Structure 1
Amino acid sequence: MNTKDIANIIYNRILEDKSQLISSFEKSKNEIGFFFVDDLLPEDLALQIYEAFPKKEEMVLKKSMREYKHVAAQMDQYNPLLEKVIYAFQDERIVTLIGEICKIENPEPDENLYAGGISLMAKDNFLNPHLDNSHDKSRDKWRVLNLLYYVTPNWEDSFGGHLEIWPQGLNHDPITIYSRFNRLAIMATHQKSWHSVSPVNHDGERCCVSNYYFSDTPLTTEDQFHVTSFRARPGQKVKDFILQTDSMLRMGIRKVFKKGITENPHVYKKDNHTKEE
């Protein structure tokens, strides 16, 4: 299968549920808009995508007080199927269709995979509550949608590693969107889109294909530029103070250096590599 073949399947599956998905997003859009699509791809193809994932030792380890996970964006180093499925989500028809569902005009995919690509979370991995960086790598466009496609078969709800969104803030319980096999989850990203991934408590690996969409305009009138900003989970007061201080310091640096002091390494540096169409 090439990228276009996979995109055809994704487009038709989302189109099939379009009315229901519009309703789901509409009900949640005033807080953190979201929806999910189950059985996105044929099961055998979804299994092939999972089996194509590299070992975690072959990915970039991100381990700190903020997060603990394995990521990759330099897709020409891995099984070509992974690159195909990532860029399938960037097909113009799919981007337009999802924009229609979310009532976002002219969303744009990110060919550079800034903070996108693939991720793997193993036992004890986690992602603390955070706001995604508000912009793309050039700080020209606003990040508006987060697309997460989960491909680990037989991943039970009790295993953890699930997307959590906090529409009422961190003083209230989150909504859990379970990272079930062959599920695509899409959430809006804006000034109040606090989200996290629950700790993995199972001796397995939760694998995910990630994309972001951007726009010339932010989703809300309240949106302002911000770096990726982390908080602790409720009740972790000392950790929360440290993470808030960390975010303020990094934000202060970005006020002086618009694009940061160093280039974010989590991008796809193609070096004349052309993705398959």
Structure 2
Amino acid sequence: MRTPGVATLEEGSLLGPSFFLSRTALRALALAHRDSYGVAQPYPHVVIDGFLGERLASGLAEVFPGATGADWKRRDHQEQAARLGQLQRKAFEGVHGALRHLLSEFSSMSFLDFLETLTGVQGLIADPHFRGAGLHLTLRGGHLALHADFNRDRFRALSRRLTVLYYLNPGWEPAWGGDLELWNADLTRCETRIAPLLDRLVVMAHGDTYWHGHPAPLECPEGRGRAAVAAYFYTAEASPDAPEAHSAIWAPTRS
């Protein structure tokens, strides 16, 4: 289902960063997709095309750093190979301002409201540190084995609830591979494949049997890569030691 972009853009500016997610448009988008999110197989997720609009998405893709365009950390292991990431280690220094702005918008009130309306999960908390998330680039031959994501933010004692992926790959060819695969709980079959197409947003629930990845090596041309922006969202757990909530306590008025 293709939808209109949900960002407003100042006239004459493409990569200001002068775009902001529209709370009204996002709410309408969430309401349109929330039923399909809940019944999706093999676990709750939704795929939304045309999220920001082709013009803005194409501009973001143009400034997405290539293999030598940023201080990437490269992973080459059995589980994942030719995968670049970890730009948050230096607070995304050197990354184009429009991409940094997009990351901020993914932590905004408007986007959190969108996710809560879409998924029904209330009290979502963004991660401004983007631990394990942020910008990812997978090169030719790279892959990501099937896995279930880490479940806790140990630094803030939060439980992970949602993963958001936004793809910036213009002209991506099916023969290149790179589809996000969603597998059933007992790992007997892939139930959903999601191509990493330009301006495609994926929202999916977290679970310890929610297997996903792109396990086949990429066959894109040299010089191309699978570009993704990732953000993770959490909730706080109730604590029996937490004080009872109250409103502001006003000091007595002195006569």
TM exceeding 0.5: yes
Q: 1:142 to 1:2 in 2, by over 3 A?
A: farther
Residue number in structure 2 paired with 1:166:
183
CA positional deviation for 1:217:
4.2
Residue number in structure 2 paired with 1:24:
36
For residues 53-93 of structure 1, the C-alpha deviation after alignment (integer angstroms, 9 at most, x for no partner) is: 12213311111001021112231231111110111111112
The answer to whether the 8 Å contact 1:3/1:87 transfers is no
Residue number in structure 1 paired with 2:236:
216
Rounded Cα–Cα distance in structure 2 between residues aligned with 1:24 and 1:102: 10
Rounded Cα–Cα distance in structure 1 between residues aligned with 2:107 and 2:156: 20
- Amino acid in the other structure paired with 1:134: N
Report whether the alignment pairs 1:66 with 2:83: no
Report whether the alignment pairs 1:44 with 2:55: yes
Mapping 1:105-144, distance limit 5 Å:
105-138=122-155, 140-144=157-161
Rounded Cα–Cα distance in structure 1 between residues aligned with 2:211 and 2:101: 30
Rounded Cα–Cα distance in structure 2 between residues aligned with 1:168 and 1:32: 9
RMSD: 2.1
Residue 124 of structure 1 aligns to a residue in which SS? strand
Residue number in structure 2 paired with 1:86:
103
Residue number in structure 2 paired with 1:224:
none
Q: 1:137 to 1:117 in 2, by over 3 A?
A: farther
The answer to whether the 8 Å contact 1:13/1:40 transfers is no
- Select the structure that is richer in strand: 2
Residue 165 of structure 2 aligns to a residue in which SS? strand
Rounded Cα–Cα distance in structure 1 between residues aligned with 2:213 and 2:156: 23
- Amino acid in the other structure paired with 2:67: K
- Amino acid in the other structure paired with 1:23: D
- Structure 2 length as normaliser, TM-score? 0.78
Residue 77 of structure 1 aligns to a residue in which SS? coil
Greater C-alpha Rg: 2
Report whether the alignment pairs 1:150 with 2:167: yes
Rounded Cα–Cα distance in structure 2 between residues aligned with 1:179 and 1:14: 21
Mapping 1:176-191, distance limit 5 Å:
176-191=193-208
The structure 1 residue matched to 2:218, chosen from 174, 189, 200, is 200
- Amino acid in the other structure paired with 2:184: P
Residue 54 of structure 1 aligns to a residue in which SS? coil
Identity level (%): 20
- Structure 1 length as normaliser, TM-score? 0.72
CA positional deviation for 1:3:
6.2
- Select the structure that is richer in helix: 1
CA positional deviation for 1:192:
1.4
CA positional deviation for 1:26:
1.5
CA positional deviation for 1:7:
2.1
Residue 202 of structure 2 aligns to a residue in which SS? strand
- Amino acid in the other structure paired with 1:100: T
Q: 1:7 to 1:137 in 2, by over 3 A?
A: farther
5+ long unaligned stretches in structure 2: 1-14, 239-255
CA positional deviation for 1:6:
2.8
- Amino acid in the other structure paired with 1:66: E
CA positional deviation for 1:99:
1.2
Rounded Cα–Cα distance in structure 1 between residues aligned with 2:32 and 2:52: 18
Rounded Cα–Cα distance in structure 2 between residues aligned with 1:93 and 1:23: 20
CA positional deviation for 1:179:
1.0
Query: Which deviates more from structure 2 when the two are superposed, residues 131-140 or residues 34-43?
Result: 131-140
Rounded Cα–Cα distance in structure 2 between residues aligned with 1:167 and 1:217: 27
Rounded Cα–Cα distance in structure 2 between residues aligned with 1:174 and 1:125: 22
